[in-house]
Amino acid sequence: MTDVVVIPRATISRLPVYFRVLMELSHMEVSLVSSDELAARSGVSSSQLRKDLSYFGEFGIRGAGYDVGFLLQKIREILGIHREWRLVIAGAGKLGTALARYSGFAQHGLEVAALFDIDPGKQGKMTGKIPVLPMEDLTGFVQEHDIQIGVITVPAQAAQGVADLMVRAGLKGIWNFAPVRIEVPDDVIVQYEDLVVGLLTLSHHLSRRMR
C-alpha cells in the first residue's frame, strides 16, 4: 500500500488565498517573500502557511524565504490552474448567466463553453459570446468539445436529473449550486456551493448581536 497523505480541506481552501497574494506580490515585482510576510498578507499564521505548503513539498529556501515566481508556479500546479479546463453550465437563469459572464473563470484557466436550459424561450440566445443550447444537446456537446466540468444552477428538484445527464456525458467534476445533495459515481467529484449558508450565517450572528 502506498502511504496516502491526507490533505486537510482547510489547507486546500487557503491555497487560492496564497495564490492571490502571490499574484499581487508578483505584480509589485517582489521576488522573495518570507512565510511571515506572506502569512500576514493572507491573514493566517506563519506556521499554518508553512504547514500547508509542506503537504506538497519543500518550496522555500531556509534562511531566505520563498521565491515568489517559483511558489506561484507550484501553487498553480497544485490547484490545476496550469491546465485549461472547459466547462458547461446547466440552467440559464439569473445565477447561470451571471456565472457565465464571471471573469474569475478566465483568470484561473477556465473557459465557459456553453449554457444549457430546458426553456425553449432561452435557447438560441447568447450570453455575451456564450450560446444557450437545449438541455438535450448537452451530451453531444460535452463529447464534441472535450468538456471536463459541469456547473448546476437549475432548481433543486431538477438537480439530480441534470447530474445524471452530466455523468452520462462523461463529465468528471460537478460544481453544484442547487441546495441538494446529488448522487454520482465515485469517480465524479462534486463541489457544493450554497449561498444560503453564508447568508443565514450572517443573519444568525446579527440576530444574536441585536437581541
Applying CB under 8 A, the residues found at the interface with a second copy are 9, 12-13, 15-17, 19-20, 43, 77-81, 83, 85, 94-95, 97-98, 101-102, 104-105, 108-110, 148-149, 172-173, 175, 179, 181, 187, 189, 191-207, 209-210
Select the binding partner of residue 19 from a second copy, DNA, none (C-beta < 5 to 8 A, by kind). a second copy
CA distance linking residue 77 with residue 59, whole number of Å: 13
Select the binding partner of residue 195 from DNA, a second copy, none (C-beta < 5 to 8 A, by kind). a second copy
Q: Residue 70 or residue 85: which is nearer to a second copy going by CB?
A: 85
Select the binding partner of residue 8 from a second copy, DNA, none (C-beta < 5 to 8 A, by kind). DNA
Of 5-24, which residues contact DNA (CB under 7 A)? 6, 8-11
- One-letter amino acid for residue 143 of the chain: Q
Q: Strand 85-90: give its sheet, edge to edge.
A: 126-127, 130-134, 110-117, 85-90, 149-152, 173-176, 189-192
Rule CB under 7 A: which residues touch DNA? 6, 8-11, 34-36, 44-48, 50-51, 53-54, 58-66
